[in-house]
Amino acid sequence: MPSARRPLRHRGFVAGAVLVVVFAAASLLAPVLAPEDPQAVASGSERTLEGPTASHPLGTDALGRDVLSRVLWGGRVSLAVGVGVETLVVVLGCAIGLLAGYFGGPVDAALMRVTDVVMAFPSLVLAIGLIAVFERPGLDKVFIVLVALGWTTIARVVRGEVLSLKARDFVQAARALGGGHRAIMLRHLLPNAVAPLLVAATIGVGGNMVAEAGLSFLGLGAQSQTISWGAMLADGQTFLATAPWVAVFPGAALLLAVLGVNLLGDGLRDLLDPRLRA
């Protein structure tokens, strides 16, 4: 059995961590690693939809752009949306969860009703619907929509932790010593909720990445000038029979990245919170 002291013996955690590090490094270093300009279209004698060759290891797409370079650059969008959205979601979710759990009463009741309603929708379906609010789709809208819908999970996690923590002796002691509400929430409650928060946020990053790719695939996210795995997959589907590499590689990259994040999240849960171990 793995323990918090031996994360290196938890196979899933290690595999996830390796995948995530590779994914993050490849994305961050895309400008250096990419053999070509990801937007450079075929010129002169170059062919479009060319299968994997020495100069284009993953082939080229319908405009003759290098698929490997685009997969690397696409990772940046995926990483930016995954982590960027989750950062805002965590800040928002923590604030709301802390307030609701700590003060209880009408604040809590109102919050719980709102999360009930948001959670009454299948997540991606509501996200798709919300895109229609904007005059035209785009990656920035995807970002807004995912933040607007994502905070509920984190808020619930934090609220639950706060509810169980606030009756504990150390919180009561802090209160008796004259600690203000803000200090108690930020210094005593939040640090103790970090473990489940970290697990939920990690899983959330994976969810954001899949959602972005899905929305972009549906044509409701990143538009053609932005390099997104989802948008590349939409292009790839058109040429599935003649040039499968256009669809295979961005999807494989997405799968490995999401798999890594999910394994990392599962591993963190096992290591940080033995009660939840499946």
Q: Would you tell me which residues interact with other proteins (CB under 8 A)?
A: 113-114, 116-118, 120-126, 128-135, 137, 206, 210, 213-214, 217-220, 233, 236-237, 240-241, 244, 247-248, 251, 254-255, 258-259, 262-263, 278
Q: Nearest to residue 65, comparing CAs of 54, 50, 44?
A: 50
| Nearest distance in Å: CB 224, other proteins | 14
| Nearest distance in Å: CB 46, other proteins | 25
| Nearest distance in Å: CB 184, other proteins | 29
Could you give the angle at the alpha carbon of 75 between the alpha carbons of 72 and 81, nearest 5°?
160
CA distance 94 to 88: 10
| Nearest distance in Å: CB 92, other proteins | 18
> Where are the extended beta strands (E) located within the chain?
none
CA distance 10 to 6: 7
Structure tokens at 21: 């590090």
Q: Are 267 and 16 in contact (CB under 8 A)?
A: yes
End-to-end, the C-alpha distance of the chain in Å comes to 12
Q: Kindly compute the dihedral angle of the four CA atoms of residues 184, 186, 189, 194, in this order, to the nearest 10 degrees.
A: -170
| Nearest distance in Å: CB 113, other proteins | 6
User: Which residue lies nearer to other proteins by CB, 164 or 237?
Assistant: 237
User: Which residue lies nearer to other proteins by CB, 133 or 176?
Assistant: 133
| Nearest distance in Å: CB 99, other proteins | 20
| Nearest distance in Å: CB 241, other proteins | 5
- Each as own residue / partner, the long-range contacts of residues 29-37 (CB below 8 Å, 24 or more positions apart, any chain) are 30/69, 30/72, 30/73, 30/75, 30/76, 33/72, 34/66, 34/68, 34/69, 34/72, 34/73, 35/66, 35/68, 35/69, 36/65, 36/66, 36/69, 37/69
Q: Nearest to residue 251, comparing CAs of 36, 67, 122?
A: 67
User: Which residue lies nearer to other proteins by CB, 172 or 237?
Assistant: 237
User: Which residue lies nearer to other proteins by CB, 108 or 185?
Assistant: 108
User: Which residue lies nearer to other proteins by CB, 135 or 169?
Assistant: 135
User: Which residue lies nearer to other proteins by CB, 189 or 227?
Assistant: 227
User: Which residue lies nearer to other proteins by CB, 131 or 157?
Assistant: 131
Structure tokens at 11: 């196979």
| Nearest distance in Å: CB 236, other proteins | 7
Amino acid identity of residue 33, one-letter, is: L
User: Which residue lies nearer to other proteins by CB, 141 or 188?
Assistant: 141
